[in-house]
Amino acid sequence: MSRRASERGAGSVLVLGVIGTVLVLTTGLAALGAAQNSRGVAQTAADLGALAGATAFQAGLDPCAKASSAVVRNGARAASCRVEAAGAVRVEARRPVALPGGLSALGTARADARAGPRTGPAGEERAEGTTAVPGRAAALADAAARHANGRIPRHLLCELSFAADHRLRCDAAVAIERLDVAFRAAFGRGLAVRGSYRSYEAQVAVAASKGSLAAPPGTSNHGWGQAVDLGGGIQYFGTAEYAWMVANAGAYGWVRPGWAAPGGSKPEPWHWEYGTGA
Ligand SMILES: [Zn+2]
């Protein structure tokens, strides 16, 4: 073999080696990313499940049925659910880990969460679990806030346990789960959600059909996952349901912006916001 040919041979081996290393690294990184993503989804589902279960328990509803439905709606499976002392609910959620394209199952991501009732002085929550859910929701809300209006990835939003296909920024979702339990105690039925997070494209469609009545795309608080449109009586000024919202929603952080009030620039009794400073 000439010296040149042997150099070429060594070069080919080197190139193959580099390609192989890159392939292994890429596959490894994809697997790591898939595992982290599944773990994040499972944790969010467990958090929301535990919270929905604990609030249901306080309202005299079946805590584990409510917890399971919240887990499923947030992309995982409820592996276990149990009610502990004082109405705290512990939930374990699982989600399969698969490479993009669903080529192969790599295992199962597990996460658990515990949520319980307030027991201390007003505003103070028990150390274990009860503060974990709001803390986790706040972290997801921070992550969501780093995206543009109407462009928040689905996995950073939380789906409501009582309203299929309606998602909000996770801190707003936690707050409205609690508001829903209080509303249910007062009226014997849950909040009727007609609108929630709205993608940029959906806001374009709303603006096209409602004209100046709709917020320009990219500016609506629905695009931040911090607004809901409610029905079930709340959509009319002067009903018992609307009066209840005015009296009670604020205790859960939900407010009626001034423009939507009677005599406001665009009266909309159905529109309520969370954390917008309205
Ligand atoms: Zn609205």
- pLDDT single digits (tens) 86-129: 778 899 999 988 776 656 667 889 999 888 765 433 333 443 34
Residue 120 confidence (pLDDT): 38
Full domain range(s) for residue 50? 1-130
Residue 201 confidence (pLDDT): 94
> Which residues in the chain land under pLDDT 70?
1-7, 59, 100-105, 117-134, 278
Residue 122 confidence (pLDDT): 39
Distance 222 CA to ligand 1 centre (A): 7
Q: Domain holding 166: CATH number? A: 3.30.1380.10
The domain boundary residue, chosen from 130, 145, 175? 130
Residue 5 confidence (pLDDT): 60
Residue 13 confidence (pLDDT): 79
Distance 270 CA to ligand 1 centre (A): 7
117 and 187 inside one domain: no
Across 152-167, b (16+ Cβ under 10 Å) vs e yields beeebbbbbbbbeebb
Phi, psi (rounded to 5 degrees) for 52: -65, -40
Distance 258 CA to ligand 1 centre (A): 13
49 and 161 inside one domain: no
257 and 147 inside one domain: yes
Distance 235 CA to ligand 1 centre (A): 11
Query: For residue 230, what are the CA distances in angstroms to 116, 193, 236, 268?
Result: 27, 5, 10, 10
Distance 230 CA to ligand 1 centre (A): 8
DSSP for 18-84, please give it: HHHHHHHHHHHHHHHHHHHHHHHHHHHHHHHHHHHHHHHHHTTS-HHHHHHHHHHHTTSEEEEEEE-
138 and 122 inside one domain: no
Domain count for the chain, please give it.
2
- The owner of tokens 């609108």 is 195
Distance 272 CA to ligand 1 centre (A): 7
186 and 235 inside one domain: yes
Residue 16 confidence (pLDDT): 80
How many whole angstroms separate alpha carbon 16 and alpha carbon 33? 25
Q: In a 3-state reduction of DSSP, which class is residue 111?
A: strand
Distance 218 CA to ligand 1 centre (A): 14
Residue 103 confidence (pLDDT): 61
Distance 176 CA to ligand 1 centre (A): 15
Residue 10 confidence (pLDDT): 72
Distance 241 CA to ligand 1 centre (A): 17
Residue 117 confidence (pLDDT): 65
114 and 23 inside one domain: yes
